[in-house]
Amino acid sequence: MFVFMFFCIGAFFIISENNMNLSRESFSNFSGLYIAWLDQLVGQFGSYTGYVVHMDWLPKNVTTE
């Protein structure tokens, strides 16, 4: 449910930022903007995931004398 609401809110932001109405003529413009937003979202998610994967998550091996 959260994912569906996230995508709907994203669509509403695209519509409001571009002052669009959802007529048949503007739907192709909306779909292009929405797909570009999803592409950017996936790219950002991939870069953050790559950063998290390459982090050193193991504790340091510290020996006390």
Q: From first to last of the 65 residues of the chain, give the pLDDT tens digit.
A: 998 999 999 999 998 988 888 788 888 889 999 999 999 998 898 888 888 888 887 877 766 65
Instruction: Say if residue 10 is exposed, middle or buried (CB neighbours under 10 Å; 0-12, 13-18, 19+).
Output: middle
CA angle (22 as vertex; 38, 36 as ends), nearest 5: 15
Say whether pTM exceeds 0.75.
no
CA angle (36 as vertex; 48, 38 as ends), nearest 5: 50
Which helix H or strand E contains 55, and what residues bound it?
A: none
